[in-house]
Amino acid sequence: MAHSDDFFGPWRDLWWNRDYLELLARRFGWTSPLRVLDVGCGQGHWSRALAQVLPPGSTIVGVDREEESIAIARTKAPFDFRIGDVLALDFPDASFDVVTCQTLLIHIDDPRDALKEMLRVLRPGGWIVCAEPNNLAGAIGFHSTTWNDPEMMLRDAELAVRYEIGKARLGEGFSSAGELVPGWLAAMNVDDLRVYLSDKALPQDGTTYIDEARKNLAEERLVFDKATTRRYFLAGGGEEGRFEELWREGIADLARSIEHTTWHTAGGSLMYVIAARKR
């Protein structure tokens, strides 16, 4: 199953505020036409967001290993989308002025391998820009139906910590790798390392994302489906009986969220923009 089947919904186009991206472009001094590579571009959401603030005459190349995602990306923007592997990019050294990614490094066993390859195809003085989250920060988030239920909040956090650590131990990526990217980059051939936080939140109420919640409930899934979550949870040191308890409570909480028309949350997240210049 392609990654896009579960994680590339239309809500991904809402991840960034336009004026925030404009601020980043000013901070990075993007005033002349740029050659940009979007690595792990998926369906092109990040490419399209950045295109709004790139100088006129800039070009974007997007690479992704999923043929389905590339096919969709090509229908949405006139950029050069192509099949590619971040660990073996088919470009000469120093080919681009900007090399960037969004939620790519969280899916790679050792993101440092991807960062090294991204830096290889970046010209000296060019910017590497990584938009990567700490998803575990959301594990202690809550909404209007759980804010006064500390046991539910602790159960949600326990489930998330176990499956994230288990996923990483299985070599399938660490979903909160954004927290570690600055340190990894600092040890590489870069200068002017910068770390910013996205200012975007997605406030939700009882109707905003109700269809998505109903779909997840019908498919009996939280972040991942049950079988995948169990596999990660056990790899993270959890026990089978505890997993069943946490899963049952998580699904029940999802059902309650759908039932309560007064359900709401501010919808914040911890998304980093980590950038540096190649020496």
Rounded percentage of the chain residues whose pLDDT exceeds 70: 92
Please give the distance of CA 62 from its chain centroid, rounded to a whole number: 16
59-68, 116-125, 202-211: least confident range: 202-211
- Which pair of tokens denotes residue 79? 């950029």
Q: Answer for the pair 257, 143: CB distance below 8 angstroms, yes or no.
A: yes
- According to the model, what pLDDT value does residue 172 have? 95
Averaged pLDDT for residues 30-39: 98
- What's the pLDDT at 165? 97
- Report, as an integer, the average pLDDT of 218-226: 86
Mean pLDDT of 203-224: 73
- Give the DSSP letter string of the chain: --THHHH--GGGGGS--HHHHHHHHHHTT--S--EEEEET-TTSHHHHHHHTTSPTT-EEEEEES-HHHHHHHHHH--SEEEE--TTS-SS-TT-EEEEEEES-GGGSSSHHHHHHHHHHTEEEEEEEEEEEE-GGGGGG---TTTTT-HHHHHHHHHHHHHHHHHHHHTTS--TTGGGTHHHHHHTSSEEEEEEEE------EETTTTHHHHHHHHHTTBSSSBHHHHHHHHHHTT--HHHHHHHHHHHHHHHHHHHH-TT-EE-----EEEEEEEE-
Confidence of residue 74 (pLDDT cuts 50, 70, 90): very high
Whether 213 has a pLDDT exceeding 80, the answer reads no
pLDDT in tens, 14-32: 899 999 999 999 999 999 9
| Res 208 pLDDT > 60 | no
d(CA 208, CA 229) in angstroms, rounded, equals 26
Nearest partner of 12 among 65, 76, 80, judged by Cα: 76
pLDDT given for residue 58 in this prediction: 98
pLDDT tens profile 148-198:
788 888 998 999 999 999 999 999 999 999 999 999 999 999 999 999 999
Angle at 105 between CA 119 and CA 181, to 5 degrees: 70
Region 258-267 average pLDDT: 73
pLDDT at position 161: 96
pTM (predicted TM-score): 0.91
Q: What is the pLDDT of residues 101-156, one digit of tens each?
A: 999 999 999 999 999 999 999 999 999 999 999 999 887 767 777 777 888 889 98
Answer positive or negative: Cα dihedral of 63, 68, 73, 79.
positive
Would the pLDDT of 3 be above 60? no
Higher pLDDT, 278 or 12: 278
Mean pLDDT of 88-95: 98
Going along the chain from its start, the domains and CATH numbers come out as: 4-134+176-203+268-278 (3.40.50.150), 137-165+207-259 (no CATH)
Q: How many CA atoms lie within 13 Å of 243's alpha carbon, on the beta-carbon side?
A: 20
